[in-house]
Amino acid sequence: MNRTIVFKCGGSSLSELSPKFFYNMNTLINEGWKPVIVHGGGPAIQQRLEQLNISFEFVDGLRKTTDEMMDVVEMVLSGQINSQLTRLAHSYGINTVGISGTDLKLLEARPINKDKYGLVGEITYVNTDFLDTLLDKDIVPVISPIAVDQYYSRYNVNADTAAGAIAAALQAQQLVFVTDVDGIYIRDKLLEQVTPELINHLIDTGDIYGGMIPKVQAAMNSLTHQVAEVMIVNGKQSALTDNNLLKGTTILQEGIELDGTFSNI
């Protein structure tokens, strides 16, 4: 069984990662898991753009990225957040190395739609040999989602998208979204396993609402033929099950029949 597990840490949750989260990651490593960390940094990017009086706009939920903005995006993601997260994980005894998606062309991309989104890219290739070399030496890669194309032009890649592409390329056992919630709760009951069909049903009924909707939608969008399981876990109050597995909500492509099980929760 492939023991690779990809963690996607959102920009808004990075400052709230608890010592317990890193303790649990150490436990997973000791159990034979090989973590890969992909991080975002939207709030920090926005703050820096505002400080520099650089205007920006969101188009379809993506920050349209100009050449001027690309310098700021790379500075914040690769220069600031990547270094901070790598240093923090290392302080808890995790053998980490911070890398950008531009290093050894780890992440190759093409523009989604340059006229509409500017320098926002989608992943076309992941240098898995590079990652496997690090993982084989028990080094945890901490990846900034900046990518390059064949001409070495830079692209800003959504961290959810980058994490999903990396997990698929590595054929990871799990992709884990680290958030500020334990998972999907329905009337104080943690749902340990769900499917996209069930999630959509619970959104329609209003049982999943507000800020939880984009979290579960991002997780569902990462399900592919190569990534069959996506988890939502809490970075502030990270927990393990009795079997030393992460506790949260696992979203499966299939395997749960939608019946009346949740109608009375």
Asked whether residue 29 is domain-assigned, the answer is yes
Q: Is 53 exposed, middle or buried (0-12, 13-18, 19+ CB in 10 A)?
A: exposed
- Given this model, what pLDDT does residue 256 score? 43
What is the pLDDT of the chain when averaged over all its residues? 88
Better-predicted residue by pLDDT, 236 or 19:
19
- Given this model, what pLDDT does residue 262 score? 41
Asked whether residue 265 is domain-assigned, the answer is no
Q: How confident is the model at residue 257 (pLDDT cuts 50, 70, 90)?
A: very low
Q: What are phi and psi of 166, to 5 degrees?
A: -65, -45
- For residue 4, pLDDT over 90 is answered with yes
Once rounded to an integer, what is the mean pLDDT over residues 72-76? Answer: 96
Q: How confident is the model at residue 64 (pLDDT cuts 50, 70, 90)?
A: very high
Q: What is the extent of the structural domain holding 213?
A: 4-252
Tell me 74's DSSP state: H
Once rounded to an integer, what is the mean pLDDT over residues 127-148? Answer: 97
Q: How confident is the model at residue 13 (pLDDT cuts 50, 70, 90)?
A: low
pLDDT per position as a tens digit, 185-233: 888 888 989 999 999 999 999 988 887 887 788 788 788 777 878 998 8
Once rounded to an integer, what is the mean pLDDT over residues 31-59? Answer: 93
pLDDT per position as a tens digit, 167-176: 999 999 889 9
CA pair distance 229, 252, nearest whole angstrom: 5
Asked whether residue 261 is domain-assigned, the answer is no
pLDDT per position as a tens digit, 76-113: 999 999 999 999 999 999 999 999 999 999 999 999 99
Q: How confident is the model at residue 258 (pLDDT cuts 50, 70, 90)?
A: very low
Asked whether residue 234 is domain-assigned, the answer is yes
- Given this model, what pLDDT does residue 216 score? 85
Q: How confident is the model at residue 12 (pLDDT cuts 50, 70, 90)?
A: low
Helices (H), 31-103: 42-51, 67-74, 82-91
- For residue 180, pLDDT over 50 is answered with yes
Asked whether residue 48 is domain-assigned, the answer is yes
- Given this model, what pLDDT does residue 126 score? 97
- For residue 138, pLDDT over 70 is answered with yes
What is the CATH number for 152?
A: 3.40.1160.10
- With 0.75 as the threshold, say if the pTM is over it: yes
Identify whether the C-beta of residue 5 lies closer than 8 Å to the C-beta of residue 35: yes
CA pair distance 223, 229, nearest whole angstrom: 7
Identify whether the C-beta of residue 107 lies closer than 8 Å to the C-beta of residue 147: yes
Asked whether residue 178 is domain-assigned, the answer is yes
Indicate the number of domains in the chain.
1
Helices (H), the chain: 19-30, 42-51, 67-74, 82-91, 114-117, 128-136, 159-170, 196-204, 212-221
CA pair distance 160, 182, nearest whole angstrom: 18
Above pLDDT 90, what percent of the chain? 59
What secondary structure does DSSP assign to 192-215, as a single string? SEE-HHHHHHHHHTTSS-TTHHHH
- Given this model, what pLDDT does residue 156 score? 96
- Given this model, what pLDDT does residue 14 score? 75
Identify whether the C-beta of residue 178 lies closer than 8 Å to the C-beta of residue 233: yes
Angle at 94 between CA 93 and CA 99, to 5 degrees: 135
Nearest to 195 by CA among 176, 171, 220: 220
Asked whether residue 179 is domain-assigned, the answer is yes
Asked whether residue 262 is domain-assigned, the answer is no
Q: What are phi and psi of 43, to 5 degrees?
A: -60, -40
CA pair distance 174, 14, nearest whole angstrom: 20
- Listed in sequence order, the residues at least 6 apart from 216 whose beta carbon sits closer than 8 Å to its beta carbon are 184, 199, 203, 208, 232, 251
- Count helices and strands (H / E) in the chain: 9, 16
pLDDT per position as a tens digit, 228-247: 789 988 888 777 766 667 88
